[in-house]
Chains A and B, each alone.
Chain A
Amino acid sequence: MSTFSGLGTALSSLIAQRQALDVAGQNIANANTVGYTRQRATMSPVSGVQVPSMFSTNDGIGQGTRVSSVDRLADVFLDARLRATTSSSSFLAARAEAYTTLEKSLGEPGKTGLSTQLSDMWAAWQEVGNYPDKNANRAVLLESSRDVATRVGTLYSDVATQWSQSRSTAVALVDQVNTAAANIADLNERIASITASGATAHELADQRDLLVTQLSQLVGASADIRADGTVDVLVGGNTLVSGKRVNALAVSGATAFDQVTGSPAVGVDVVWAERPTQSAALSGGRVAGLLSVLAPADGSGSGGVLAEAAARYDTLATTIATKVNALHGTAVRSDGTPGGDFFTFTPGKPAALGLTVAISAPSDVAVATAGAGAHDGSVADLIGKLGTAAGGPDAVWSETVVDLGVRSASATSRATVAEAARTTAVQQQLAQASVDTDEETVNMLAFQRAYEGAARVLTAIDEMLDTLINRTGVVGR
């Protein structure tokens, strides 16, 4: 124990408290920085020299304090939970969003929806049946039938437009994924080299974790932390980022809606850019949600949202055409010739898009039963009754609307529940990682007091030594 070692002890405290105060300052400075994780200076005492020797001057008292480490108070489990909930919540949100958009395009149950147009068409048939001799009624009928055909086509093209928009979004998001992955790889490399040199790279780790969370929101990525401080990012069980290496993703498959509805149906998938045949098997995230929206119909109604809707519109168009044509074909025109088809399909187009009225001249509408008189309208009456018939076009449409409504409601409520889970995870993660200014203020006070105390110790020792050096041996002076 040297005479001056007390000065060293006080100095170590002064240095340590100042460092700790710096850390508190950094925390307060970043109180509102997104993704910042609070840090804490951990102090540990410096023990005295414990050399067992006869002339050792050590009296067992320690040599002061030092900042042993500056810790980043993140919790990997809370982070992992946040990523898992984010992944599933954005998957469900993407689906719910697609359903909501699709549902708005229906225009039901409004007074201007397809159901109203169908009812108007059936009423027009009845009018023609009442007065087959009046061409005005026939013209009204042709116009309202064209309205129905156009509306069904519009519904279909709305779905096709939504599909291509969703696909562009998926492509843009995958680009974003690749950029984020490259950034993570870059950060990994810098963190590894800084860590290797013995310094801390907490701020870089904050940035990196933010990017990883962004990736789980996009493609349901999870992270694996390695001993050297870098992370491996996994997507569908394969590595997207490993150290400083990146495996880029790419969108493959159908580029147009007719490929999805065609036969054989081609879906859209996200694959590894280097191995385009291998699917990335995304299980969560917004991109996976979009992929499920873009998927082809599977025949059971649970395939891709948009392709299923398109298939239902096709069924509707076919039902309208088949039911009306079946009756119209049996009828004769006023000149006695058979009626033929009322609705027809443009070849090479999906049924809903290609549905058109085959007849252009009002007099070509056939409403009479053969041999029942030129002013007979009994077939028109039968066609008019299709509106209320079981399995008729109105029933098919109502079923489509209600089914979509049920699915949309359930998708929205699932998304809401998942979002609540994500919010809780965010709260828990923030509770652990975010800066509390009150807490930092208290810490600042503590460090300030400790600093003052250490300074006082220094003064005390100085005064003591002063007594020894300047006041001793001056007896009687």
Chain B
Amino acid sequence: MISRVTHQTVQRSTLANLQGNLTAMADLQNKMSSGKKVNVPSDDPSATSDVLRLRGEQRADTQYQRNAADAGSWLQTVDTAISSSLAALRQARDLTVRGGNGALGQTSLDALADEVDTLRTQLLSQANTTYVGRSVFAGTSDAPAAFDSAYAWSGTGSSVERRVSSTTTVRVDGDGAAVYGTGAGSVFALLDTISASLRAGTDPTPHLDAIDDRLESMVTQLAGVGARHKSIMETQETLAARDVETKARISGIEDVDLAEVILELQSQEVAYKGALGAAAKVLQPTLLDFLR
């Protein structure tokens, strides 16, 4: 029902329109300079919720990637240790077979016994392999070594796990007891027995079965470690791919489409100029210009 138009109403509405145009421009400028569509939660509450969730996931994934890389290093260490141990034990088996052929003199048997002792020391040091200060075969124990001089295993029975996703953890240590055995039943005690038997000039070959059993369990453990290592590498790839994907999704939600904003800004500018032009035309003339 605005029936009457006066200079004041025109002036008011012109100012209001200019203000509206400027506000819209400032809004677009803000979007363009910050590069973000969502600057405060009320800009888009549901997008805010998504962004918060995705950012949380992304940070967690970054940690999982770190965990997975660490797990890879652990498993690599365990893998190397068991492989070397296998080689050493195979060598010990050869020595045992040679010691059992009966044609060797005691001097040669003593030499063989010395070699077996060296191999035992090697095995023990491999069993006590550490990674960044932690014995990889001792589980969660804080004992200085996985196997002490009496071949007692210091492990606690609980394994070292690394979390690689919100639902999965991967075991990264080696089961010292399963690989090397413990105490009198350990591979070290076995080699000591063989060495003693050689020194005493008795036939060490009856121990071959025990060596084979140990070899068998070492291979089994090695296979397990290899399988876990493979799964870790796959997980690392998945995590890397997911990181990219999450970043793309966050960007899709909160980043502006620059081309679109520039276009909007351009058209807003045209509207603003139009409003300015109209204001200049409407506000200027009065009847007084046309009277004598």
Contacts and interface: CB of A to CB of B under 8 A. Distances in A.
B278 interface: no
Contacts of B241: none
B7 A437 contact: yes
A381 B45 contact: no
Contacts of B287: 437-438, 441-442
B101 interface: no
B4 interface: yes
Given A426-B12, A437-B288, A375 B140 contact: yes
Nearest to A426: B12
Nearest to A445: B291
Interface string A350-394: 000000000000000000110111111110010011011000001
B105 interface: no
A93 to B, nearest CB: 15
Interface in A430-453: 430-432, 434-439, 441-442, 445
Give the dominant DSSP class at A's interface. Answer: helix
Contacts of B162: 130
A interface bracket (residues with beta carbon within 8 Å of B): 35 or more
Interface string B1-31: 1111111110011001000000000000000
Nearest to B132: A131
Interface stretch (A213-221, A276-284, A311-319, A401-409): A401-409
A376 B40 contact: no
B134 interface: yes
Contacts of B66: 127
A108 B166 contact: no
B6 to A, nearest CB: 4
B59 A123 contact: yes
Interface string A227-249: 00000000000000000000000
A109 B140 CA distance: 40
B238 interface: no
A423 B134 CA distance: 74
Interface string B70-107: 10000000000000000000000000000000000000
Contacts of B140: 368, 372-377
A120 interface: yes
Given A401-B41, A408-B40, A130 B8 contact: no
B203 interface: no
Nearest to A424: B2
Given A376-B140, A387-B56, A427-B2, A31 B8 contact: yes
A104 interface: yes
Interface stretch (B116-124, B153-161, B226-234): B153-161
B48 A108 contact: yes
A434 B10 CA distance: 11
Nearest to A440: B287
B52 interface: yes
A12 interface: no
Nearest to A374: B142
Interface of B: 1-9, 12-13, 16, 38, 40-46, 48-49, 51-53, 55-57, 59-60, 62-63, 66-67, 70, 132-134, 139-142, 155-156, 158, 160-163, 166, 169, 254, 286-288, 291
Given A402-B45, A435-B6, 4 more contacts: A115-B56, A116-B59, A375-B160, A388-B57
6 contacts: A122-B60, A126-B163, A375-B141, A387-B60, A388-B60, A408-B40
For the complex of A and B, 4 pairs with smallest distance between CB atoms: A405-B41, A373-B140, A119-B59, A374-B142
